[in-house]
Amino acid sequence: MTPKPKQSIAQLLLEGQTTIHNSLSDPEIQSLVAGFGYMVEKLNAANGLCAAAQAAVNLQKSKEGGQQESTRLLSEAERTARDAYQALAKVARAVFIKDKAQLVTLGLTGRQPRDIAEFLTAAYTLFDNAAALPALADYGYGAARLQTERGKIVALDQANRRQEAAKGAAQQATRDQEAALQSLHDWLAQYRKIARVALREKPQLLEKLGIAARTSRIAARSEG
């Protein structure tokens, strides 16, 4: 059997708002469901569940957007930092082509790391140790320029930290959203089952709650 498609978030929220609002606004529905344990206090609490679910959805969207923006900024910072690293690395390799010890000091004995964490370590090594090599000043890398270019590495480091924080916040918001929606879903599932019993003689009230009345059965009982 093909499983029933999962109910969308929008559908669940609309169902919750319709069911709870109309239960609270209709005195007859209130009276009938109260006889099955659903007093106004319970319905108001459910209204809180609905509001909490909507708030959780809004927050998740906000955090997701924040993560996407932080990822974009990280990508830009990485391109800038890697360009700065490559430029100094190429100059240093040319200057110290016959001085392997200096290349080791600068961390230029292998390929540029692809991983951001490893790249940051390599980049800090390159720029910090380059500051102690006066020979590079003759090729455009004096103290001031090294400090400016190193700032691009720092900017990447900060952007990476912000992106990790934004990713964590988005993941937590998603978990909170799922929990809030599940709570609303569970409440509605139980309430709608009991409302079918409480309002079984009032199909128009079931329709008001967004619950399809089983008209065929009602008609059958009437004919019988």
CA distance 110 to 198: 75
- The residues, any chain, with a CB within 8 Å of residue 118's CB and separated by 6 or more, are none
Q: What pLDDT, on the 0 to 100 scale, is given for residue 220?
A: 36
- The mean pLDDT of 209-218, rounded to a whole number, is 64
Q: Tell whether the model's pLDDT for residue 62 goes beyond 50.
A: yes
- The mean pLDDT of 46-69, rounded to a whole number, is 97
Question: Percent of the chain beyond pLDDT 70?
Answer: 92
pLDDT band at 6 (very low <50, low <70, confident <90, very high): low
pLDDT in tens, 110-161: 888 889 999 999 999 999 999 999 999 999 999 999 999 999 999 999 999 9
In the chain, the amino acid numbered 75 is S
Sign, CA dihedral 70-76-78-84, equals negative
Return mean pLDDT, the chain. Answer: 91
pLDDT band at 4 (very low <50, low <70, confident <90, very high): very low
Give phi and psi for 141, each to the nearest 5.
Answer: -115, 70
**Model pTM score:** 0.79
Q: What pLDDT, on the 0 to 100 scale, is given for residue 208?
A: 92
Q: Tell whether the model's pLDDT for residue 3 goes beyond 50.
A: no
